[in-house]
Amino acid sequence: MRRTGSILVVDDDPAICVVVGEALRRQGHKVEAVSSIRQRSEMLESFAPDVLITDVMLPDGDGLEDVAGILGRWPELHVIILSAQNTLNTAIRATEKGAFEYLPKPFDLNELTRAVSDALTMKEGADAEEVGLPHDGLPLVGRSPAMQEVYRTIARVLSNDLSILVLGESGTGKELVAEAIHSLGQRRTKPFVAINMAAIPRELIEAELFGYEKGAFTGAHARTAGKFEQAQGGTLFLDEIGDMPMEAQTRLLRVLQSGEVTTVGGSKPVRVNVRIVAATNKDLPQLIEENRFRQDLYYRLNVVPISLPPLRERREDVMILARHFLDQAAQEGLPRKSLSDEAAQLLMLYHWPGNVRELQNLMQRLAVLSRETVIAADILRNALPLAAVPADFTAPSEQLAQAVGEWAKRQLGIGISEPNRNLHNDLLAVVEPVLFQETLARVDGNQLRAAGLLGINRNTLRKKLTDYGLDPSQLRLND
């Protein structure tokens, strides 16, 4: 049984407070959220939380500075640190201050809810085997900037009933976004009903959406409620809306404008109250130009757009997702598996035309078919489509290790008798300028973005650039 407790969330980003708070409340926790160190101190006194989730950079100071003092006063409290300063120094400080967990921003919400569960389990003195029990936070996984923007948009729409249009290629997780909006929103106690327009014959779409009366057509043996009525008070997810026939679009628009549906073969309208979330992988503006989609319906649906990026554009999420799906498979009774470093490199090289759904299917297949606990690169290569990756692939990490090994052998051969030789600094002087140049070129000379990719402080990056005589304005991507 999941252990619940009281959680205090401290972050000056309202979207983070909303999303984290709603996800934790959904798991049965009591949650309060504040935005400053002063408010945090007041809530620690009055709220007495079991777990404190706090950002580092707060409007009135460093959120890490007095964590040791807090734990000295409340030794049973578990502290989880969030920080956009994703540096080794921050992680070390969090550990030294006694934090239970440190998660760099942008963080994965499922990782955070798991950390809360683990903290509460440890607080109650549970056996180590119980740590990391299955959880049901947001069904979305990823910490890439693109996914963080998706999370922020979801947070902004939870307290209202605006229509949502989710855009993205097949397999990117559009229905998961709809489920998240419903399960965290104010309609979560009511039904969530989904209908795929592309999977229903054209002549049956209106009957499926609006219902039908007995005798309305051959086979209509009794009055049947449509999806609108089934979703009464909840959320109706209209998937693949771009495949909806024009005649059905006209009637759907009328329903959205009036809030009433009339069954096929019926004459008395029924009042409905549902939230609409639609999704498509089609270019709706292009369909409008081709007179295949109604412009007025598009404006009615596209009040708040949410764009899901393809997996190939959020490669930093590939391994997070892969591990998540392997854990998920183990929770469902399949053998627990992990990926070798070389297999992980292969996953990063693959272009994922089927997006997240393809990755999920692959991980489930490997969990069944791989005989070893650790999935090797050759097993993964055989599971991927032919020609997906080079047959003579050598993991970049392995190539780098070999290169460093050869360099070290040469240097040791040259200067083994020199007692004051600093091989570590010598290696950094060779490697760091190349790394900085390539990173800055990739981000068009933007030092803030480069520092984020490198995982170092921007001031540290500036000093290094000066030391190596590198000019960011001259570093641009040429390929």
Q: Which domains does the chain have, with CATH numbers?
A: 6-130 (3.40.50.2300), 145-309 (3.40.50.300), 313-383 (1.10.8.60), 408-474 (1.10.10.60)
Q: In this structure, what token pair is assigned to residue 159? A: 């307290």
Query: What residues of the chain score a pLDDT lower than 70?
Result: 1-2, 85-92, 95-96, 123-139, 143, 148, 386-399, 413-421, 472-479
Return the pLDDT at 124.
Answer: 54
Return the pLDDT at 126.
Answer: 34
Return the pLDDT at 304.
Answer: 94
Return the pLDDT at 193.
Answer: 97
CB 77, CB 100: distance < 8 Å: no
DSSP 315: G
Return the pLDDT at 99.
Answer: 84
Return the pLDDT at 125.
Answer: 44
Return the pLDDT at 449.
Answer: 73
Q: In this structure, what token pair is assigned to residue 54? A: 């706090």
Residues 146-159 as b/e (b if ≥16 CB within 10 A, e otherwise) read: bbbebbbbbbebbe
> Which residue stretches of 213-282 are H helix?
227-230, 246-258
Which residues are CB-contacts of 112 (< 8 A; sequence separation ≥ 6)? 20, 23, 53, 80, 82, 103, 137
Q: In this structure, what token pair is assigned to residue 272? A: 């409905």
Say what the pTM is.
0.60
Return the pLDDT at 128.
Answer: 31
List % helix, strand, coil for the chain (3-state, nearest 5).
50, 15, 35
In angstroms, the first-to-last Cα distance of the chain is: 54
